Amino acid sequence: MSVTLNAHQVGRMLDRTADHIADEYTPVLHGIRIEADATFLYAVATDQSTLAIARYRHHGLDGAPIARTLPARALPALRRWLTDQPGSDPVTLTLADSKIRFTAPHGEMTLTVDDDQKYIGWRGLVRDIIEQTAAGTECACPALTTQMFGRFAAADERLRVWTNPGRQPVLLAGEDFLGAQMPVRSRHEGFDTGLADDLDHVRNLWDDSPTDADGLTPAPMPTGSRPLHDASRTPTDTVEALLHQTMRSTHDLIEESSDSPKAVAAHAAAGVMAWTAYRYLDALHRADPKLAAQIIAEVDDELDSGEIGEFAYDAATAAGLDPQKWQDDLEAETTPSVPDTSATER
Question: 213 with 67, same domain?
Answer: yes
Buried b (16+ CB within 10 A) or exposed e, 241-280: bbeebbeebbebbeebeeeeeeebeebeebbeebbebbee
Label residue 136 by pLDDT band (50, 70, 90).
low
pLDDT at 129: 76
Q: Which of these ranges, 42-51, 67-76, 255-264, has the smallest mean pLDDT? A: 255-264
d(CA 143, CA 197): 8
How far is the C-alpha of 43 from the C-alpha of 15, rounded, in Å?
10
> Torsion over CA of 30, 221, 161 and 150, rounded to 10 degrees?
0
Indicate whether 198 pLDDT > 70: no
- Across the range 275-293, mean pLDDT stands at 83
**Residue 240 within a domain:** yes
Answering whether pTM is above 0.75, one says no
Q: Which domain holds residue 19?
A: 1-137+198-224
Q: Whose CA is closest to 317, among 309, 163, 258, 279?
A: 309
pLDDT of residue 262: 77
- Same domain for 186 and 131: no
- Could you tell me what percent of the chain has a pLDDT over 70? 80
- Is 281 within a domain? yes
State pLDDT tens for residues 58-75.
888 887 888 999 999 999
Picking from 252, 255, 257, the residue whose alpha carbon sits closest to that of residue 268 is 252
Residue 171 lies in a domain: yes
Query: Do 211 and 78 fall within a single domain?
Result: yes
- Checking if the pLDDT of 203 tops 70, the result is yes
Same-domain status, 23 and 89? yes
Same domain, residue pair 30 and 111: yes
Does one domain contain both 156 and 278? no
The whole-number average pLDDT for the span 213-234 is 61
Number of domains in the chain: 3
Most confident of 131-145, 190-204, 305-319: 305-319
Q: How many CA atoms lie within 13 A of 137 on its CB side?
A: 16
* Residues 39 and 87 both lie in one domain: yes
Q: Which pLDDT score is estimated for 174?
A: 78
- Residue 122, pLDDT above cutoff 90: no
Pair 13, 129 in one domain:
yes
Distance, CA of 191 to chain centre: 32
Are both 66 and 176 inside the same structural domain?
Answer: no
Domain-located, residue 131: yes
Amino acid 286: pLDDT: 77
Q: What is the pLDDT of residue 228?
A: 47
Alpha carbon distance 316, 322 (integer Å):
7
Is 299:231 a contact under the CB 8 Å cutoff? yes
| Shared-domain flag, residues 52 and 132 | yes
Inside any domain, residue 172: yes
Instruction: With respect to residue 60, please indicate whether it lies within any of the assigned structural domains.
Output: yes
Query: Residues 251-278: what's their mean pLDDT?
Result: 79
- Residue 197, judged by CB atoms within 10 A of its CB (0-12, 13-18, 19+), counts as middle
- The answer to whether position 128 is within a domain reads yes
* Residue 192 amino acid letter: D
242 and 176, same domain (yes or no)? no
Is residue 329 one of the residues assigned to a domain? no
Output 193 or 79, whichever has higher pLDDT. Answer: 79
Same domain, 117 and 180: no
